Structure 1
């Protein structure tokens, strides 16, 4: 287990992290973050961890930059989990190129945000890949998302972060299933899909 007693664990990202945490499923959402919290708490109730969800649906790294001080730095987490990038890629394929984030901007912005968080709070990092629940690795959105995931892998190495390979997790289950078993739109998981992500996190956390 990577966590120590009394630590604060903060998750930030887009709709996959948000998952209703600002609405009916407040304050943790009903997705992977809530599952990770539940299993870690059940396995190690002695740790008395504090958990915070700061996911917001539709966010890209540009949106994270706008709220980073308020939603990360001021909350001073001991561990910061960042899962961002799906919208940065998807907006291009949705016919919204002005809202998409080019890969060089994505990398530059994410690096700056991570550096600010580490320097200001001393937090440790958990970085999770963007993904598409698509078995065909040559499919255009899947192939482009892989490039952004490679950026996350590089930053994880650069910052000594724990790296959650969510695309690889979905690739494993897709060997025995179809994409619709996990999400209707290849992006927003159902509960079993969120469990796939949560299991990838738990493997990294060491539960």
Structure 2
């Protein structure tokens, strides 16, 4: 697996990353992980790689789009002095086009594809020199119909994230591909009630995809000091 002993991983994103974390908790302490994929990843890293003593920090904030996340980046992410940063952002950037047409005051929070790409590029350029690696997780929607207007737009933002990951030699975690694979067998209602926020099973799918991409050894039975 990629991570060295005492690695520090910061996860940044929106509500799919946040999932009820305690904002006042000590980083990597009780209540700090939330109830989603970040907590599941932390639990599996702790259980299978106890000798690595990996620190997982959840800095997801519900409601964030990429512009809001960028505003808090220095204090919430870089201040943690991470070795690795994992980002999943974009679904709210899309969702506001669909759920806020009657909320004129939301207009400044509308993030175009051009602004999404520009802001993402700036975050990568700011972060990459000070970390060992970054992981770009695809924004995703738990919707099998790729012609659905919102799913179609999520795919456009997802392609931007993937392209930026490839251009900057970052690790790309294709969550949407894993979701689409699942949806060939089961309904979206098994993973979500609103096509955006995963339930426990949905978060496990996200966690498993991230861990597999990072080379997690599910059969590991010996430690590095033995």
Residue number in structure 1 paired with 2:125: 115
Aligned to 1:106: 116
Mapped partners of 2:78, 2:45: distance in 1: 24
- Shift in Å, 1:95: 2.6
Q: Distance in 2 between matches of 1:66 and 1:123?
A: 23
Could you tell me which residue of structure 1 aligns to residue 73 of structure 2?
A: 68
Query: Take 1:45 and 1:11, find their aligned partners in 2: how far apart are those partners?
Result: 20
Tell me the C-alpha RMSD between the 2 structures.
1.4
- Greater C-alpha radius of gyration: 2
Asked if 1:175 is matched to 2:184, the reply is yes
1:161, distance to aligned residue in structure 2 (A): 1.1
What is residue 201 of structure 2 aligned with on the other side? Answer: 192
> Which deviates more from structure 2 when the two are superposed, residues 87-96 or residues 185-194?
87-96
Maintained 8 Å contact 2:17/2:60: yes
Give the TM-score, by structure 2 length: 0.88
The counterpart of 1:152, out of the listed 161, 165, 190, is: 161
8 Å CA contact retained: 2:37, 2:206: yes
Q: Which range moves more in the overlay, 37-46 or 22-31?
A: 22-31
Q: Residues 90 and 100 of structure 1 are in contact (CA less than 8 Å); yes or no, is this contact kept in structure 2?
A: no
Aligned residue for 1:45? 50
Q: 1:131 aligns to what?
A: 140
1:7-26 counterparts in 2 under 5 A? Answer: 7-22=7-22, 26=31
**Separation in structure 1 between the aligned mates of residue 111 and residue 22 of structure 2, nearest angstrom:** 25
Structure 1 counterpart of 2:220: none
**1:127 partner SS:** strand
Unaligned runs of 5+ in 1: none
Q: How many residues align?
A: 206
Compute the displacement of 1:38 (Å). Answer: 1.0
Unaligned runs of 5+ in 2: 217-226
Is the Cα contact below 8 Å between 1:65 and 1:113 reproduced in 2? Answer: yes
Q: Deviations over 1:61-84 (max 9, x none)?
A: 111111011011111100000000
